[in-house]
């Protein structure tokens, strides 16, 4: 989900990045406001601000400090994956993500559920926490690609959030996925969020098999850092 899903090369231009961001904002607006059939949807406006403002800051940070990582993050989606299982997982994730957003829009339109305003705001704060964790991952790991692969020269990272859990990027994704429907004022989107979390788990388990095989030192690292996603839990 973070930073962006699009194709890119290492010759990143500011204009291209702005255009990718604009397309993403337009996609979200259509997926939210068309099912809602109204712009009178304050939860959606708040979410868009709480999502795209920190994402833009992350993109700006990477553009200034680590354009190689930004290029890796931009090469995302099922077409960019090299493992067949990961291609399927990413296709399902895109469908489930779209289902979350559109369901919340319909929920707002037909008033299927009610989420208290304080809980909506809390979910947006948790979403910001997910972005902060993502930022910490980017600071520590320049190989944090959006696809499952091992690049030449890649090494095991065991500092920062990687000293606590083995997949902090996925931890951030789980938090943000679970908060998404709540931030949009809907309980009906939660089952799709749960499906997305399950896909994340399947994805990381398959990724770990590859890392144990192809990344020197990862097996030893996984013995030192026991937890994959949630400290003291799993």
Residues (pLDDT < 70) of the chain are 1-12
CATH number reported for the structural domain that contains residue 66 in this entry: 1.20.120.1630
Could you read off the pLDDT of 60-109 as tens digits, one per residue? 999 999 988 988 888 888 888 888 889 999 999 999 999 999 999 999 99
Is 4 within the bounds of a domain?
A: no
Q: Which phi and psi angles does 130 have, rounded to 5°?
A: -60, -40
The structural domain count of the chain equals 1
Q: What is the pTM of this model?
A: 0.88
Has residue 7 been placed in a domain?
no
- Predicted local confidence at residue 41, as pLDDT: 97
CA-CA distance, 11 to 4, in Å (whole number)? 16
pLDDT at residue 221 in the model: 93
User: pLDDT at position 187, please?
Assistant: 97
Please give the span between the terminal C-alpha atoms of the chain, in angstroms, as a whole number. Answer: 22
- pLDDT for 153 equals 84
Give domain status of residue 233, yes or no: no
Name the residue range of residue 189's domain. Answer: 14-224
Q: Any residues with CB less than 8 A from the CB of 7 and at least 6 apart, and which? A: 74, 75, 79, 80
Question: The tokens of 182 are what?
Answer: 């709540």
Sequence-distant (≥ 6) Cβ neighbours of residue 84 within 8 angstroms? none
How many angstroms separate the Cα of 222 from the Cα of each of 25, 165, 185, 219?
A: 38, 9, 38, 5
pLDDT computed for residue 1 by the predictor? 43
Query: If we measure between CA atoms, which residue out of 159, 130, 149, 137 comes closest to residue 72?
Result: 149
Look at the alpha carbons of 93, 152, 8, 68 in this order and tell me if their dihedral is positive or negative. positive
pLDDT score recorded for residue 11: 54
- Judge whether 229 lies within some domain: no
Q: Are 108 and 44 in contact (CB under 8 A)?
A: yes
CA distance 179 to 124: 7
pLDDT of residue 40: 96
- Asked if the structure places residue 2 within a domain, the reply is no
Residue 8 is predicted with a pLDDT of: 39
């Amino acid at each position: 989900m973070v930073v962006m899903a699009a194709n890119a090369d290492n010759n990143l231009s500011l204009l291209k990045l702005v255009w990718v961001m604009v397309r993403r904002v337009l996609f979200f607006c259509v997926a939210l406001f068309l099912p809602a059939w109204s712009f009178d949807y304050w939860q959606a406006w708040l979410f868009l601000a709480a999502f795209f403002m920190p994402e833009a800051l992350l993109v700006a940070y990477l553009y200034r400090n680590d354009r190689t990582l930004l290029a890796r993050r931009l090469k995302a989606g099922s077409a960019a994956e090299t493992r067949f299982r990961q291609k399927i997982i990413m296709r399902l994730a895109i469908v489930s993500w779209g289902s979350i957003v559109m369901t919340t829009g319909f929920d707002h339109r037909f008033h299927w559920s009610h989420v208290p305003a304080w809980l909506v705001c809390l979910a947006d704060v948790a979403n910001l926490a997910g972005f902060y964790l993502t930022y910490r991952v980017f600071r520590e790991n320049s190989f944090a690609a959006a696809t499952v692969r091992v690049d030449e020269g890649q090494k095991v990272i065991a500092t920062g959030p990687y000293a606590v859990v083995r997949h902090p990027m996925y931890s951030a994704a789980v938090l943000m996925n679970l908060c998404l429907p709540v931030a949009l004022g809907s309980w009906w989107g939660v089952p799709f969020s749960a499906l997305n979390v399950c896909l994340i788990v399947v994805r990381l388990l398959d990724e770990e098999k590859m890392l144990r095989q192809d990344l020197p030192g990862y097996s030893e690292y996984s013995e030192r850092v026991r937890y994959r996603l949630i400290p003291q839990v799993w």
